[in-house]
Structure 1
Amino acid sequence: MDTAEILKKVRQIEIKTKGLTNHIFAGEYHSAFKGRGMSFSEVREYHFGDDVRSIDWNVTARFNTPFIKVFEEERELTVMLLVDVSESSAFGTKKQDKRHLITELCAVLAFSAINNNDKVGVIFFSDGMERYIPPKKGKSHILFIIRELLSFTPKRKGTNLKETLRFFNNATKKRSIVFVLSDFLSGDYQDALNIASKRHDVVGVHVYDQRDKELPPVGLIQVSDAETGDVQWIDTNDRQVRQYYERQFAQHAQYCKNAFLKSGAELVSVRTDEDYVKALQTFFLNRA
């Protein structure tokens, strides 16, 4: 895309996603992450109806009566978007490719964040860290991020989430809300995810295409791995081939789910040809 096309696309995405943020996700983002960025204020006696998870057991034991910790919500949070720009993210067969969906999701999350007076930063990653955009506030910053999402060309093709999370863990000391938007076609990232989830509020957004999950019976076709360049012929009319392909996706999806569950993080899945609004609404409401 040339500059005029990029600016036109930025405007289209702004109109669509800002409208969703203002009319559909108004308040839901704030409710989902309230109390996620909290600072300690004081200790007071427990009252009926207080959350028992807030009990300060050391003070309770000292005075032989229940006390709870009181926290104040921080005035601003930092939202980091970890965006997969590997070659596989350019894949899509119906409504849009994964990268375009990721761009829209980032825009919705970013506009929601600035409406909540939060800062937003971005890390583009492939099989290495491609680009870091420091967290800032403001509409112009969000439009800059969208423009970069549309025009950025990665230097590498593969995916290495482990190294990306390691970079993030080292570079970001303040507790943040972290959205990892990817198809997660990466090697083992469990340890790095565990560390990130202890320090930050981590949410994975698994973006996939229908053809990542299943093959149509269209005969003998040549397929290539977008990230490695490996090419092979497969017979899609063979039922066992199609079943194997579906099992591989199911195993990969289960690995992603288990990895986030084990780390204490959360994962939401969105398909390229399905409405992401419902998926985000359900996610926000479940956290509220």
Structure 2
Amino acid sequence: MAKPNIAPHSTGLDARIYCDYSRLVRLQSQIGVFSLLPHLKAGSVLSGRHNSLFRGRGLNFEELRHYQLGDDIRNLDWKVTLRTGKPHVRSYTEEKDRNVIICVDQRSQMFFSSTAVMKSVIAAEIAAMCGWRVLKDGDRVGLVIASAEKIYHSKSQRSQHAFMSQLKLLAHANQQLNVETVNSDRVSFSLWLDQIQRMKLSQSTIVFITDWRDCEERHLDQLKQLQIHNDILAVHINDPLEQTIPRELAKSNWVVGDGQFQLSLDTTEKVDQASASMAKRSLLTRQSLTRLMALKSLPFIELDTTGAHIAQFQRLVGRSLP
């Protein structure tokens, strides 16, 4: 796939806090060491069923016709043959491309990091890398972006120009986030998942990139249903401070909040209680997603905010053939 003739200019934003459109375009250079296609090396974490655990190109039913000499008898339609008394075969054509939907979270809770890079930036960059990889393999890709205001859905296309337009929208949604951002009622995980289900996807690859903070058990049941006819890859972006709180913070009299509620961490006991609650929630989320991925023996991908997310993703997904 040819690169754009004119590379977009950087806007000078702090890359740790906001995602830059030019950076999302330049991430094309990072796609050579992983693949979502079924030609992975044996020994890759995704190798196995049919050489890969992601769906590849398949066959579409084209027509039912009379048997002709040389036709593969495995394609005989026995019901029609018995009903008509004449042999009939089902004819198929090969699919020309795959459909990949990348669901990327850019809501207010993603505007957080206690280490190096905001979760929202990590989600955007991983989404861009996946999209460029899909286009490199000649397949169709579309984004479903959950922003703080609304859910954007872009039609899947095998077009670099169309994908770059989607990346502009993604960068815009990212740059609208700030410490005062509050999510609209229109962007809950339930509504996000409803949007995916209305698309009536089948034989598609769906990549969810989020922190899964508001994913409940009922949502996991819906994802299991989607997993029956599709391949869902869960990418979990987690920050160390969302798993455990250092006891030393009690001396600093921290007050933490989510935009609606606040909690004063002014004693060691309060810090320990909050830390235990967060660790339990993080563990339950990790276990639930691991079980979801195990339905298809896919890897559970967890990325942190230390700034090593690209290398982590490349390693966990698997390496492509040279």
Give per-residue Cα distances to partners, 1:48-87, cap 9 Å, x unaligned. xxxxxxxxxx9xxxxxxxxxxxx98632111101112221
Residue 86 of structure 1, aligned match among 99, 103, 107:
107
Spell out the pairing of 1:133-282 with structure 2 (5 A cutoff). Answer: 133-152=154-173, 153=176, 156-157=183-184, 160-186=188-214, 187-188=216-217, 189-217=219-247, 218-219=249-250, 220-226=253-259, 229-235=260-266, 237-238=268-269, 240-241=272-273, 242-261=275-294, 267-273=300-306, 274-282=308-316
Residue 130 of structure 2, aligned match among 97, 109, 115:
109
**Distance across 1 between alignment mates of 2:225 and 2:202:** 14
Runs (5+) with no aligned partner, structure 2: 1-9, 14-18, 40-51, 62-70, 79-91
Q: Which has the larger radius of gyration?
A: 2
Give per-residue Cα distances to partners, 1:199-235, cap 9 Å, x unaligned. 2111111111111112123222101025xx2111124
Residue type of the alignment partner of 1:75: K
Change (3 A) 1:235 1:263: farther
Shift of 1:163: 3.1
Any idea what SS the aligned residue of 2:300 has?
A: strand
Aligned to 1:39: 59
Shift of 1:128: 8.9
Change (3 A) 1:203 1:44: farther
Residue type of the alignment partner of 2:25: E
TM-score normalized with structure 1 length: 0.74
Any idea what SS the aligned residue of 1:165 has?
A: helix
Aligned to 1:64: none
Residue type of the alignment partner of 1:156: N
Higher share of residues assigned strand: 1
Residue type of the alignment partner of 2:312: K
Aligned to 1:11: 22
Shift of 1:245: 3.1
Aligned to 1:98: 119
Shift of 1:259: 4.1
Residue type of the alignment partner of 2:310: Y
Runs (5+) with no aligned partner, structure 1: 46-57, 59-70
Contact 1:29–1:284 (Cα < 8 Å) also in 2? no
What is the aligned length?
258
**Distance across 1 between alignment mates of 2:256 and 2:145:** 27
TM-score normalized with structure 2 length: 0.67
